[in-house]
Amino acid sequence: MPATVRIIQKTGAGGTATDASGGIRFKNADNATVDLVNPMVKPASGSDFSFEKWLRLEVTGGTYTQITNIRAYSDGANGMGTGINLWAKAVTNYAQPAEPTSTSGFTNFFSYTSASPLSLGAGPYTGNGEKGDHVVLMMEVQSTASGGLTATETASFSWDEI
């Protein structure tokens, strides 16, 4: 039986884990609640950055032998509209999500595709629990954005398993 996995979102100083498989909301708060509280704001000039979203693969069961080559990627097309950007980086050790003031250290998430994914660790990983690096995502709303709710986008995760 293959590994049973879920994607978790970690928040707070201690890294409280929440199942993120149903979606995440980029906002100006460090929580995993998918709601319209603490919205991103279209600035008069410059950019508004969301709090970071720390996501990680968690194995919850199955009879697999090992997992290797954990990866995250997009479909390669930003469908959120002009002036809305999604940034990503891989980080080994968890740190409480912050609200960055720039994109320094991040890469455009839509540059990661199934053909060229973001590596989250080669492994091998065994047993249950969190596996690989965290993918840290951050949204940027620029003054050129239209405003309002953005379209939904999908982040995909893949791995090899035996």
Query: Which CATH number fits the domain that encloses residue 52?
Result: 2.60.40
User: Which position has the higher pLDDT, 159 or 147?
Assistant: 159
Hey, what are 44's tokens? 């008069």
Hey, what are 89's tokens? 């980086």
Rounded CA gap, 72 and 114, in Å? 8
Residue 1 predicted with pLDDT over 90: no
Residues 67-83: what's their mean pLDDT? 97
Domain of residue 55 covers: 4-161
Cα angle 2, 133, 85; round to 5 = 110
**Total number of domains constituting the chain:** 1
Residue 82 predicted with pLDDT over 80: yes
pLDDT bracket for residue 91 (50, 70, 90): very high
pTM (2 decimals)?
Answer: 0.96
Residues 43-57: what's their mean pLDDT? 97
- For the stretch 4-20, pLDDT in tens is 999 999 999 999 999 99
Share of the chain above pLDDT 70, in %: 100
Other beta carbons within 10 Å of 116? 10
Sign of the C-alpha dihedral computed for residues 157, 107, 120 and 160 taken in this order: positive
Residues 95-116: what's their mean pLDDT? 97
- For the stretch 21-40, pLDDT in tens is 889 999 999 999 999 999 99
| Nearest C-alpha neighbor of 90 from the set 76, 75, 70 | 70
The pLDDT assigned to 24 comes to: 96
Cα angle 80, 116, 8; round to 5 = 65
Residues 101-107: what's their mean pLDDT? 97
pLDDT bracket for residue 148 (50, 70, 90): confident
The pLDDT assigned to 138 comes to: 98
